[in-house]
Structure 1
Amino acid sequence: MDPVKTVAPSLAGVLDRNLLWMVWNSVLAWIPVALALLLFRGERDEERRLPVSPVWWGGVALLMLFLPNAPYVLTDLVHLRDDIRAAGNGPVVTTILPVYGVFIISGFVAYYLVLAELDRFLTAWGLGAWRFPARLTVHLLCAIGVFLGRWVRLNSWEPVVQPAGTLDRMLLALSWSWAPVVITAMFVATAVGHFVTRAVIESGVEAARKGARLLRTRKLA
């Protein structure tokens, strides 16, 4: 007998319905973190302002193809209504919402880590003044990517494996009269989500550092 179904049948139902696609979308959201670590943690060449290797720039393009998968998790809230209906009279706050909460937080943590690596990279290359414009540009590109992924069902790898057909679908979707509105909404949601995630993580890290320093001071005393 499954202990989860015995103790929390509503939670088991949520996991049965959503576990597969949530795990898959989470994997897609964290792929950019691995790519960012590979691209932005290399040693700085003192003779050049930026890497010029075609392989490196190809990696950047691949990163930007996959990065929208991180904030994309926010749009998966479209499944929430069906889960609430399926729960019937079962608990929602203690079962369904925590599952979605962990899923969405994971996506935005991945997004934060990628942009943190980009910030460190730009700073290391003496381009710290470009961090904010670069961040806004990434938010915008991701907003467009989320729009294409949710409303056109475009996958990250399709521009590589089917470039011609993908371009036609993108142009058709972007010509929709409501596309700018949806993209703007996704830009705001992505920017706000990143801002909140960054504030929470960096505040937590700073608090942990202060606590560690305080403990060391007490031990020395």
Structure 2
Amino acid sequence: MDPVKTVAPSLAGVLDRNLFWMVWNSVLAWIPVALALLVFRGARADERRLPMSPMWWGGLGLLLLFLPNAPYVVTDLVHLRDDIRAAGNGPVVTTILPVYAGFIASGFVAYYLVLAELGRFLTARGLGAWRTPATITIHMLCAIGVFLGRWVRLNSWEPVVQPRGTFDRMLLALSWNWAPVLITAVFVATALGHFVTRAVVETGMESLRRGARLVRTRRFA
């Protein structure tokens, strides 16, 4: 007998229903982190301008294609209502909500890490003043990407493997009357999620550094 089903049947139910797509979407959300490390850390550290290599720009384009998968996870809250309904009288706060919270947090941590790599890359090349405009632009591009992924069911690789058909679908979707409203809503959710994640991660890291300094001070006092 499955111990999870015995101890927490509501938790087992939400995992049975959602484990596959949650794992798959989490993998897609973290692919941009690996791409960011290759693109931004793979460039020459002593180069004081943007790389001119076609391969580097191709890698950056691939990163931008996959990056919307990270904030995309917030739209998976559309499944939450069905899971709450399926739980019946079972606990929700201690089972279903933590699963979704961890899943969404993972996506936004991946998104934060990519933008942090971008910020370090720009700062190292004397372009730190462009960090905020670049971040806002990426929020908007990701909002459009998330809209196309959620409401048009467009995958990150389709612009590469089916460019003509994908372009037609994108134009049709973006001409929809409700497209600006939905894109704006996703932009706000993405920007807010990034802001909160950045605050939590950087505050936690600073606390850890202070703790480490305190331990070293007491050790050598």
TM beyond 0.5: yes
Find the counterpart in structure 1 of residue 67 from structure 2. Answer: 67
Q: CA deviation at 1:49?
A: 1.3
Count of paired positions: 220
Find the counterpart in structure 1 of residue 45 from structure 2. Answer: 44
Find the counterpart in structure 1 of residue 110 from structure 2. Answer: 110
CA–CA separation in structure 2 for the residues paired with 1:87 and 1:166: 38
CA–CA separation in structure 2 for the residues paired with 1:8 and 1:185: 35
1:185 aligns with 2:171: no
Find the counterpart in structure 2 of residue 94 from structure 1. Answer: 94
- Identity %, equivalent residues: 84
CA–CA separation in structure 2 for the residues paired with 1:120 and 1:205: 16
- TM-score, normalised by the number of residues in structure 2: 0.98
Instruction: Determine helix, strand or coil for the equivalent of 2:93.
Output: coil
1:141 aligns with 2:119: no
Unmatched 5+ residue regions in structure 2? none
CA–CA separation in structure 1 for the residues paired with 2:46 and 2:212: 35
Instruction: Determine helix, strand or coil for the equivalent of 1:94.
Output: coil
CA–CA separation in structure 1 for the residues paired with 2:45 and 2:170: 36
Instruction: Determine helix, strand or coil for the equivalent of 2:70.
Output: helix
Q: CA deviation at 1:44?
A: 2.6
Structure-to-structure mapping, 1:194-205, within 5 angstroms = 194-205=194-205
Find the counterpart in structure 2 of residue 18 from structure 1. Answer: 18
Find the counterpart in structure 2 of residue 129 from structure 1. Answer: 129
Unmatched 5+ residue regions in structure 1? none
Q: Which amino acid aligns with 1:161?
A: V
Find the counterpart in structure 2 of residue 79 from structure 1. Answer: 79
Q: CA deviation at 1:178?
A: 1.1
Q: CA deviation at 1:50?
A: 1.1
CA–CA separation in structure 1 for the residues paired with 2:41 and 2:155: 27
Instruction: Determine helix, strand or coil for the equivalent of 2:62.
Output: helix
CA–CA separation in structure 2 for the residues paired with 1:97 and 1:45: 46
Find the counterpart in structure 2 of residue 157 from structure 1. Answer: 157
Give me the CA root mean square deviation.
0.8
Q: CA deviation at 1:45?
A: 4.3
CA–CA separation in structure 2 for the residues paired with 1:192 and 1:81: 22
Q: CA deviation at 1:132?
A: 0.3
Post-superposition Cα deviations, 1:36-93, rounded to whole Å, max 9, x if no partner, equal: 00011132344x6110111110010100000000000000000000000000000000
Q: Which amino acid aligns with 1:197?
A: T
- TM-score, normalised by the number of residues in structure 1: 0.98
Post-superposition Cα deviations, 1:162-193, rounded to whole Å, max 9, x if no partner, equal: 00000000000000111111111111110000
CA–CA separation in structure 1 for the residues paired with 2:172 and 2:51: 35
CA–CA separation in structure 1 for the residues paired with 2:82 and 2:10: 13
Q: Which amino acid aligns with 1:93?
A: V
CA–CA separation in structure 1 for the residues paired with 2:46 and 2:209: 32
